[in-house]
Amino acid sequence: MQTKFGKVYEKSRQAALVPAGRSGLEGQLVGAMLKKLKYAPSPDDPAPEESKDDAEYVLARARRHVQLGELERAMEQLDKLQGQVAFTVKDWKKNAQDRIAADKALHVIKMEVALMNESLSNAVE
């Protein structure tokens, strides 16, 4: 998930830099150029209050959560995205939701097995 998010992050950041109302080829070229020229915000950088939910800041926070293995927190951030940026992360979000569900199911199974082992070891004694 982390490796794939790196690619998604780059494409999403480019989509975030496309000027409003210019989603065509011209806008994509501007977004690609701005992505190369403009530094990406760090998740540790305080976002200005009026910009805290701007796509670049949301993506930076989501990237940090993904790097830390906190998929649910990353999803909370990515749910704030809109428009072309939200479309860009849609497939990754679906895969992350599947992974979260599988991890939760695995956790429940492990708990059940631990309980069964405990009850069997008590029954043998």
Report whether pLDDT(96) > 90.
yes
- What confidence tier does 46 reach under pLDDT thresholds 50, 70, 90? low
Query: Encoding tokens for residue 88?
Result: 């860009």
**What is the tens place of the pLDDT at every residue in 51-88?**
778 888 899 999 999 999 999 999 999 999 998 899 99
Report whether pLDDT(106) > 90.
yes
Report whether pLDDT(47) > 70.
no
Mean pLDDT of the chain: 85
Residue for token pair 């429940």: 108
Domain count for the chain: 1
Asked if residues 82 and 97 have their Cβ atoms less than 8 Å apart, the reply is no
Report whether pLDDT(97) > 80.
yes
Concatenate the DSSP letters of all residues of 33-91 into one string. Answer: HHHHHSPPPPTTSPPPGGGTTSHHHHHHHHHHHHHTT-HHHHHHHHTT--HHHHHHHHH
Domain that holds residue 20: 2-124
CA-to-CA separations, 63 to 30, 40, 90, 115, 117, in angstroms, rounded: 23, 11, 15, 36, 39
| The predicted structure's pLDDT at residue 91 | 94
Give CA–CA dist 58/120, Å, rounded.
Answer: 48
